């Protein structure tokens, strides 16, 4: 790993990772692999703050400021045995902070809030308690969405534009500032939210933890950095034993935080390619194009060249990088059809690559009513059924691959299961959530169509121009995608059984059928195409579980026993089996086959075989057995291997390198 570090930066990035840096003697930023950055002979500039593109949030400046004062200097009265008033008070010194006191009073009068004032002694003099009456307190409760707490920062404040975010920070600083640009808090939730607002305000920051002189809670000091860039003098190579995150964003950059320091870095492009082993039927008689001109030769004349390219790609992926590590991208998808030539010599590198790293994904068309021409794999989950496009008229070759998904909305199934007492109530809540998902996707479709019309997506506008000419809209051939998370936990909360149980599995199939039928009605209602995806929910699996546990402490999560011992909660993605349910790949296939076939927008089953580098022949036979005996549309084989930073690829699971005994 590579460590880019100075007093305001602490990036730790993996080999081949791209760094955002300023091009020397220009104002332009470039994305450059870390290995190339290492070759620079002089310090280089990296950004520590980005530009906030959020639209202005629907909240007044006065409300932003008053909420900042309440969060920083406010309290809420706890209910007692005889009284439950939840009144809000704000504390400020008339003597030491006269301007602040006057600003608070002015804001309260602006909203016509009624209050009383009380003087009391404090550590450094007198302090004024400004206590709101019950009606005024209820108005503030609505701003926070709860009467139980004001010690958090609501979502609306986390999604403001740069000007509004600066206004909040500047107001908050008046309450808790010291040394001009530092904020102190003992509340970790507020600390995290302040960091988000700081980023939205265009600031960098650092965080230090201090031991208190009074009390027992640690104090966290957030120091705001108002300059936009910093110099990196030195890059250090370090050994690392831990998780490597690989987020994916549209502009291929990401804002991250490490050791209390925010930074902007590049990321690996998430790419999925479908590699045809034989010339597809719809392209066989199409003329090849060179220099924009059709030639007399057709694609069917170039099978030999296809074999060369496929072989070279497989051999490159099989080799890995310079240290024997797997290339995680691009993800290649190979189509398995009824006439697949399993024993063809040209395919041998494919089986070797799969046996060693498990890189490829396989699209199964043997027991399917679809043909490879009907489907496009857009990522490791999303698959597009082009038959919906055929219904719109025009040839498939002319429409494809000008499709995709405008976005995915994931339904929180465990919460529905927890909140429902009857099957009827379960489906009512599911329908309500799906209707909200449809509404949000229709709004998004209108927004991106409008942006494209205005030239804000120039590449997409050019790429989709033929769709616009034919349908009147650029994004008409793109699906709206709805998915789900945590069906296993939904069943545990609703029925007391998991998804491997026959009763639970049958109900899960019923749920997916309901969702498919609902999506069909959305298509008829809106004229837009919809599909159902088994969303991977890499981030939502933890985030939704964490939020649900906060609001409903007795809701069941995937790792309930470990959660009670302090582990972070999570939900199982889509309708998958619990993580540790079985190590028998064929048991998993039997339990998942019907469920996997219900999805119209993509799903994948990972076959964790637990073996260390099975033979290419055994790997081929396993893939053949799966494809010929099951209907699931998309699967991948995952062998077990380890990577030593010194000796590279090692078959099997090893906590220590068997060659050098290192623990990395």
What are the chain's domains?
2-47+229-266 (no CATH), 61-225 (3.10.28.10), 270-380+604-664 (no CATH), 382-582 (no CATH)
Please report the pLDDT score of residue 377 as a whole number: 46
How far is residue 49 CA from its own chain's centroid? 21
Give the chain's mean pLDDT: 87
Please report the pLDDT score of residue 391 as a whole number: 43
Please name the residue ranges forming H helices in 201-323.
303-319
pLDDT at residue 81 above 70?
no
Count of all residues that appear for the chain in the document? 664
The rounded percent of the chain whose pLDDT value lies above 70 is 90
- Determine phi and psi for 364, rounding to 5 degrees: -95, 110
- Determine phi and psi for 272, rounding to 5 degrees: -125, 125
Please report the pLDDT score of residue 415 as a whole number: 98
Please report the pLDDT score of residue 386 as a whole number: 47
Put simply, whether the predicted model's pTM sits higher than 0.75 gets the answer no
Q: What is the pLDDT of residues 294-315, one digit of tens each?
A: 999 999 999 999 999 999 999 9
pLDDT, greater one: 24 or 627: 627
pLDDT at residue 388 above 60?
no
pLDDT, greater one: 431 or 539: 431
| Cβ(568)–Cβ(542) below 8 Å | yes
**CA distances in angstroms from 403 to 49, 104, 480, listed in the order given:** 35, 54, 11
> What's the start-to-end Cα distance of the chain, in Å?
11
With 0-12 CB in 10 A as exposed, 13-18 as middle and 19+ as buried, what is 416?
buried
Distance CA 353, CA 351 (A): 5
Split at pLDDT 50, 70, 90, the class of 26 is confident
Say how many C-beta atoms besides its own lie within 10 A of residue 372's C-beta.
Answer: 20
| Cβ(593)–Cβ(632) below 8 Å | yes
| Cβ(456)–Cβ(385) below 8 Å | no
Which residues does 102 contact at the CB level (< 8 Å), separation at least 6? Answer: none
**CA distances in angstroms from 397 to 271, 296, 376, 406, 461, listed in the order given:** 22, 19, 12, 21, 19
pLDDT at residue 384 above 50?
no
pLDDT at residue 218 above 50?
yes
Q: Which whole number is the average pLDDT over 368-383?
A: 55
Say how many C-beta atoms besides its own lie within 10 A of residue 567's C-beta.
Answer: 12
Say how many C-beta atoms besides its own lie within 10 A of residue 251's C-beta.
Answer: 8
Please report the pLDDT score of residue 608 as a whole number: 79
């Amino acid at each position: 790993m590579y460590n880019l570090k100075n007093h305001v930066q602490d990036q730790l990035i993996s080999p081949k990772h791209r760094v955002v840096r300023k091009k020397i003697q220009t104002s332009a930023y470039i994305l450059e692999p870390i290995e190339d950055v290492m070759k620079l002979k002089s310090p280089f500039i990296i950004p520590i703050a980005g530009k906030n593109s959020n639209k202005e949030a629907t909240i007044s400046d006065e409300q932003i400021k008053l909420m900042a004062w309440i969060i920083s200097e406010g309290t809420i009265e706890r209910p007692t045995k005889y009284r439950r008033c939840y009144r809000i008070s704000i504390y400020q010194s008339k003597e030491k902070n006269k301007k602040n006191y006057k600003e608070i009073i002015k804001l309260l009068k602006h909203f016509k809030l009624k209050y009383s004032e009380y003087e009391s002694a404090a550590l450094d003099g007198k302090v004024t308690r400004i206590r709101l009456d019950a009606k005024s307190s209820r108005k503030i409760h609505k701003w926070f969405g709860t009467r139980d707490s004001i010690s958090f920062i609501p979502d609306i404040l986390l999604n403001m534009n740069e000007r509004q975010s600066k206004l909040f920070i500047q107001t908050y600083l008046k309450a808790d500032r010291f040394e001009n640009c530092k904020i102190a808090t003992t509340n970790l939730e507020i600390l995290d939210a302040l960091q988000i607002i700081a980023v939205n305000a265009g600031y960098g920051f650092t965080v230090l933890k201090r031991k208190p002189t009074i009390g027992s809670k640690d104090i966290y000091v957030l120091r705001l950095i108002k300059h936009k860039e910093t110099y990196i003098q030195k890059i250090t190579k370090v050994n690392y034993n831990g998780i490597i995150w690989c987020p994916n964003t549209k502009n291929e950059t990401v804002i991250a935080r490490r050791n209390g320091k925010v930074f902007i870095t590049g990321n690996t492009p998430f790419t999925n390619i479908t590699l045809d082993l034989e010339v597809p039927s719809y392209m066989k008689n199409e003329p090849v194009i060179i220099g924009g001109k059709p030639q007399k030769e057709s694609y069917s004349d170039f099978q030999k060249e296809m074999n060369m390219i496929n072989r070279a790609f497989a051999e490159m992926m099989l080799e890995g990088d310079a240290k024997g590590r797997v290339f995680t991208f691009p993800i290649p998808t190979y189509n398995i059809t009824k006439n697949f030539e399993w024993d063809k010599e040209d395919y041998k590198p494919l089986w070797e690559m799969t046996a060693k790293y498990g890189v490829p994904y396989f699209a199964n068309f043997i027991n399917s009513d679809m043909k490879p021409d009907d489907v496009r794999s857009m990522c490791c989950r999303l698959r597009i059924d082009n038959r919906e496009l055929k219904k719109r008229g025009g040839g498939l070759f002319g429409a494809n691959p000008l499709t995709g998904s405008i976005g995915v909305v994931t339904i929180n199934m465990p919460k529905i299961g927890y909140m429902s007492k009857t099957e009827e109530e379960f489906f009512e809540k599911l329908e309500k959530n799906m209707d909200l998902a449809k509404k949000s996707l229709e709004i998004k479709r209108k927004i991106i169509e409008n942006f494209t019309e205005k030239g804000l997506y120039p590449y997409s506008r050019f790429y989709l121009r033929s769709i616009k000419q034919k349908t009147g809209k650029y994004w008409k051939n793109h699906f709206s995608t709805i998915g789900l998370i945590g069906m296993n936990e939904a069943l545990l909360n609703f029925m007391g059984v998991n998804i491997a149980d026959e009763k639970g599995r049958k109900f899960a199939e019923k749920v997916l059928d309901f969702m498919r039928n609902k999506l069909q009605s959305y298509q008829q209602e809106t004229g837009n195409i919809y599909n159902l995806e088994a969303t991977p929910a890499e981030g939502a699996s933890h985030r939704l579980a964490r939020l649900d546990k906060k609001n409903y402490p007795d809701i069941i999560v995937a790792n309930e026993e470990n959660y009670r011992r302090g582990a972070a909660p999570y939900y199982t993605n889509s309708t998958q089996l619990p993580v540790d349910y079985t190590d028998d790949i064929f048991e998993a296939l039997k339990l998942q086959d019907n469920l996997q076939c219900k999805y119209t927008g993509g799903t994948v089953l990972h076959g964790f075989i637990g073996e260390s580098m099975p033979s290419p022949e055994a790997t081929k036979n396993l893939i053949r057995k799966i494809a010929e005996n099951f209907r699931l549309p998309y699967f991948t084989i995952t062998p077990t291997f380890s990577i030593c930073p010194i000796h590279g690829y090692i078959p099997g699971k090893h906590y220590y390198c068997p060659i050098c005994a290192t623990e990395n």
